Amino acid sequence: EDKVVQSPLSLVVHEGDTVTLNCSYEVTNFRSLLWYKQEKKAPTFLFMLTSSGIEKKSGRLSSILDKKELFSILNITATQTGDSAVYLCAVTTSGTYKYIFGTGTRLKVLA
Amino acid sequence: GAGVSQTPSNKVTEKGKYVELRCDPISGHTALYWYRQSLGQGPEFLIYFQGTGAADDSGLPNDRFFAVRPEGSVSTLKIQRTERGDSAVYLCASSWEEGSPLHFGNGTRLTVT
């Protein structure tokens, strides 16, 4: 059965800290991995990764994929209280375009 | 529209009743997805449409759940004989095409009493 596992489940840091969130997957015929941020309601798209070793970056956020070891990390540097959210990882596979989500990592950034 | 719109935002119903949840995707998006999210969990896949047809309905938990997208735009998720375990936030998402990033609506919070 395809599965996506995120760690840690929750994390509390102080403003200015750097955090690394992990997403590992076990799926047949991997196609892509996506990261989302969910604050209150709708998850919002952050990154889509398809190739190993190529870092995607947006401001203080960056992400990279390792298709050999079957995981991705999401880094947030110089965290701010506005980064407090649940970060979700999702994987798609060839053959079907459904997105399989992990449980998410709940990040709380303290002022 | 500017974003994915879901109505109602909240629905409270009694056990055994029938409910319909509506999703209006971003204009021009061909793929539409339904997910269910329980507290503390990630979104759980239910069904997705490419155009008017259900391309993958493997996530529908049982035959009480059904979804349609008759004109390839608006979709309705229908739940018959609701049970308390159906209580969750039902999220709809659309994408430009299959495989492109999903854009989510704010969800419908369904409470079955």
| Residue B99: predicted pLDDT | 84
The model's confidence at residue A40, banded by pLDDT at 50, 70 and 90, is confident
Distance from CA of B23 to the nearest CA of A (A): 13
The model's confidence at residue A26, banded by pLDDT at 50, 70 and 90, is very high
pLDDT at A95 over 90: no
- The partner residue sitting opposite B45, judged by closest CB among A32, A98, A102, is A98
What are the chain A neighbours of B31 within 8 Å (beta carbons)? 97
pLDDT at B82 over 70: yes
pLDDT at B25 over 70: yes
What are the chain B neighbours of A95 within 8 Å (beta carbons)? none
CA distances to B13, B73, B80, B85 from B8, rounded to whole Å, are: 12, 17, 17, 19
Nearest to A97 by CA among B26, B66, B45, B68: B45
Regarding predicted confidence, which is higher, A62 or A41?
A: A62
| Residue B1: predicted pLDDT | 52
| Residue A96: predicted pLDDT | 80
* Mean local confidence (pLDDT), B12-31: 97
What are the chain B neighbours of A103 within 8 Å (beta carbons)? 40-42
Evaluate whether B106 touches B24 at the Cβ level (below 8 Å). no
Confirm or reject contact between B59 and chain A (CB < 8 A).
Answer: yes
**Looking at residue A18, what DSSP letter applies?**
-
| B104–A44 C-beta distance less than 8 A | yes
Distance from CA of B105 to the nearest CA of A (A): 6
